[in-house]
Amino acid sequence: MRAVWLREFGGPEVLVPGPAPDPEPGPGQVLVEVAHANLTFVETMFRATGFGPFRGPLPTIPGNGVGGVVTAVGPGVDPGLAGRRVVTGTGGTGGYAERVAVDREALFEVPDGLALDQAVALLADGRTATMLVDAAAPRPGEWVLVEAAAGGVGSLLVQLAARAGARVVAAAGGARKVALLPGLGADVAVDYTTPDWTDRVRDAVGAVDVVFDGVGGEPARSAYELLAPGGRMISYGLASGDWAAIDPADAQRRDVTLVRPAPTPEQLRSYTRQALADGAAGRLRPLIGQRWPLERAADAHAAMESRATVGKTLLDVG
């Protein structure tokens, strides 16, 4: 089968297309013919340095989320699953390939009415956004600040917060990205790469009640200063390369809660099912900003690292 290999850590060019053995489903597993592979920013960090939650020896086939059709089942698995449209995690590796063998328990069937590429776009980002909104619990009338609001998770957070009745300040980097934000449901859109962006937020809304921090670093610390007493801040990403590093003692003094969700595996599965159901019902719309064929995974990584992408990035495999 066709695949993309990582044989050494480094720049995007270390992602090299090449043949790989066809996987075979073992006991309790299914074989999925992959149509789309989900890309996340943490995968670029893993490719560059080995950083992140994924572990294992090189060489490896990267990729942790795919969507496709079940084509075979292993021993102990209901043969009726064959032909079903599914999305699934891969356990950290193997996703940049034409086929994957995964545990049956890792599958999520794609609801009727939801396109397979949209389901893949919601697999990780929809789960994350749904979990974050559940944990921070924005209330009607509150002001919510979403960083990296033109990204995969951020674009969904804008929609979910607005659906909860909150008013949304959406922050993104660059005029092209900022122009997308009103269409997602943002009440105020700002460019957080400009030096006066927090002043613009204060002039528009005063303080904010909730911060969804997907950037970390200095933008996150600036966003933290915008929080009103009783506010909540939840950090889930470090696109800047560094966590926000907010002092818990200072947060306590300011009456700000640093929300740190710790969902169980079953809760994560429930969030995924909810995101897919919301997508099928038209309540949640993933922003698929760009897509590349499998063989151009290196180009996809380069675009993500250069901050040239918006929304979700996919590899089209099938």
Integer Cα distance of 174 and 243 in angstroms: 21
**Highest mean pLDDT out of 213-217, 244-248, 286-290:** 286-290
Sign of the alpha-carbon dihedral angle for 18, 57, 64, 313 = negative
Instruction: Say whether pLDDT at 267 is over 80.
Output: yes
Sequence-distant (6+) residues with CB within 8 A of 39 are 63, 297, 300, 301, 304, 312, 313, 314, 315
Residue 83 DSSP code: T
Instruction: Let me know: does 176 contact 141? Beta carbons within 8 Å.
Output: no
Per the prediction, the chain carries an average pLDDT of: 95
Q: What is the pLDDT of residues 133-178, one digit of tens each?
A: 999 999 999 999 999 999 999 999 999 999 999 999 999 999 999 9
Q: Which pLDDT belongs to residue 217?
A: 84
Give the total residue count for the chain.
Answer: 318
Q: What is the pLDDT of residues 191-212, one digit of tens each?
A: 999 999 999 999 999 999 999 9
Read off the pLDDT band of 240 (50, 70, 90): low
pTM reported for the whole predicted model: 0.94
Q: Which pLDDT belongs to residue 239?
A: 67
Q: At what angle do helices 297-305 and 41-49 cross, to 10 degrees?
A: 100
How far apart, in Å, do the first and last CA atoms of the chain sit? 11
* Ordered domains of the chain (ranges, CATH): 2-109+287-316 (3.90.180.10), 125-259 (3.40.50.720)
Integer Cα distance of 318 and 35 in angstroms: 4
In the beta sheet, which residues pair with residue 100? 32
Lookup result for tokens 């950083």: 51
The residue that leads in pLDDT, 238 or 316, is 316
In the beta sheet, which residues pair with residue 15? 6
Instruction: Let me know: does 239 contact 40? Beta carbons within 8 Å.
Output: no
Q: What are the backbone dihedrals phi and psi of residue 251, each rounded to the nearest 5 degrees, phi first?
A: -60, -40
Q: What is the pLDDT of residues 67-102, one digit of tens each?
A: 999 999 999 999 999 999 999 999 989 999 999 999
Integer Cα distance of 235 and 251 in angstroms: 14
